[in-house]
Amino acid sequence: MSLNRIAILGLGLIGGSFAKALKHANPTIYISAFDKDEVLNQAL
C-alpha cells in the first residue's frame, strides 16, 4: 500500500514541519492542509 494523499489539520510548528518532511521524502504526495487563511497563504 502506498501513501499518496494526506490531510493535515493545523500548519503550526508540528503540522508545518510534518508537511515539509513528507514533501521532501515523497515529492509526488498530495497534501491537503486546513488552517486559518493567513496561515495557509504563508505556508504556500
> Could you give the CA distance from residue 33 to residue 40 in angstroms, rounded to a whole number?
8
Q: How many residues does the chain have?
A: 44
Q: Per-residue pLDDT tens for 1-44?
A: 678 999 999 988 899 999 999 999 999 999 998 989 888 888 77
> Could you give the CA distance from residue 8 to residue 15 in angstroms, rounded to a whole number?
7
**What domain count does the chain have?**
1
Can you give the pLDDT at residue 1? 64
Domain range spanning residue 34? 5-43
Can you give the pLDDT at residue 31? 93
Query: Would the pTM of this model clear 0.85, i.e. be above it?
Result: no
> Could you give the CA distance from residue 14 to residue 20 in angstroms, rounded to a whole number?
10
